[in-house]
Amino acid sequence: MKSLTALAFFVIVNLAGVVTLYGQESSSRIAILPFHANGIDSVYIQTAESILRTEIGKLGTMDIVSQKRMLDTLEGTACWESDCALALGKKLNASQVVVCQLSPLGEKIIVQFFLVNTPSNSVILVDEATAPKIEDLEAVMKRIAQSIVEHQSMGKSAEVGNITPAETAAPLRRATLRNFGLSFGYLYPQNGTYDHSGRIFVMDARFDYELNDYAVGMLLGLRNGFASNLYGMYLLSRKDVCPYVGGALGFHWVSPDNSDGFELTASTGIRVMHTYNFELVFNLEYIYSLNDYNDRALVFTMGIL
């Protein structure tokens, strides 16, 4: 009796392990079906599919079903419908399946894609993107990969650095990483001999350039005198709401005491509508002037970049 109990326990434990393993595999595997296209050179199709596979692998943590295994399972048949994709996902033990179709329209390439979820037997994402010309497929595929990994539509997955050529042609979408802006606000003296004891109106002009997750630039400001500095920021997001932290080094001609000196700045703030051609900027700085009076102040500004 004891031996039968032990055997039953052994079987149950192993079955539970198999079920758990199956669940883990299924929840961490994605299948990308061969692209369906008409009237487009097969070399371009294969390149676009390869870019999508690479980008999903870079952005996500899921295992990608190999192309060979995919082709072996298809056995020469075509699949670009949701029912077929769901059935194929179950055969491949994949929790998600990507289906992508490329259609030429003049010089443009229309890329339609959808993502199915095998466990729930449902389509969880349907969208399309446009490549103005065949060379733009690289940017489009990278953006589609972002949408698939984040389970978001193309509009919601926009980030600085992955705006597609078709989007830059649309009104307001960001087309450059160079920025110019004006900000207005107040300086609040903390120490030193500023002319006023209360807040002081300030105005800044900024010129900067974004480098991946950073922005570097120059500030010219009227701040109870004239200030000029070089600054750097670490951008905490590439989305439309982008917090940042940074610092600056420059020179401040403080009036009316003619107490000039180098100035150190620590800053933080937020850029809103970061993927558009203009952004709203809310900036808070602590400035420390290395002059005879050790002038210190908080500066809050807001403006358009």
Measuring CA to CA, which residue among 240, 239, 241, 232 is closest to residue 214?
232
From 74, 77, 2, 1, select the one nearest 31 (Cα to Cα): 74
What integer pLDDT is reported at residue 24 of this predicted model?
39
Give the integer Cα–Cα distance in Å for 147 and 7: 48
What span, in angstroms and rounded, lies between the C-alpha atoms of 67 and 87? 17
Domain ranges of the chain: 28-168, 178-304
Examine the pLDDT at 155 and tell me if it is beyond 70.
Answer: yes
CATH of domain 28-168: 3.40.50.10070
- Does this model's pTM top 0.85? no
Pick the range with the lowest mean pLDDT from 109-118, 127-136, 254-263, 276-285: 254-263
Q: 88-92, 163-167, 187-191: which has the minimum mean pLDDT?
A: 163-167
Per-residue model confidence (pLDDT) at position 11: 41
Return the pLDDT at 6: 46
**Under CATH, which number does the domain 178-304 receive?**
2.40.160.20
pLDDT digits (tens, 9 = 90+) for 94-107: 999 999 999 999 88
Identify the weakest region by mean pLDDT among 80-89, 186-195, 286-295: 186-195
User: What pLDDT, in 10s, does the model give residues 204-241?
Assistant: 999 999 887 899 999 999 988 889 999 999 999 888 89
Per-residue pLDDT, 299: 94
Tell me the CA distances in angstroms from 115 to 79, 89, 120, 150, 171, one per residue in order: 13, 11, 12, 11, 29
pLDDT digit string (tens) for 248-273? Answer: 999 988 776 667 889 999 999 999 98
Beta bridge partners of 99: 114
* 42: CB partners within 8 A, 6+ apart: none
d(CA 59, CA 149): 7
Whether residue 15 has pLDDT greater than 90: no
Amino acid at the residue 275: T
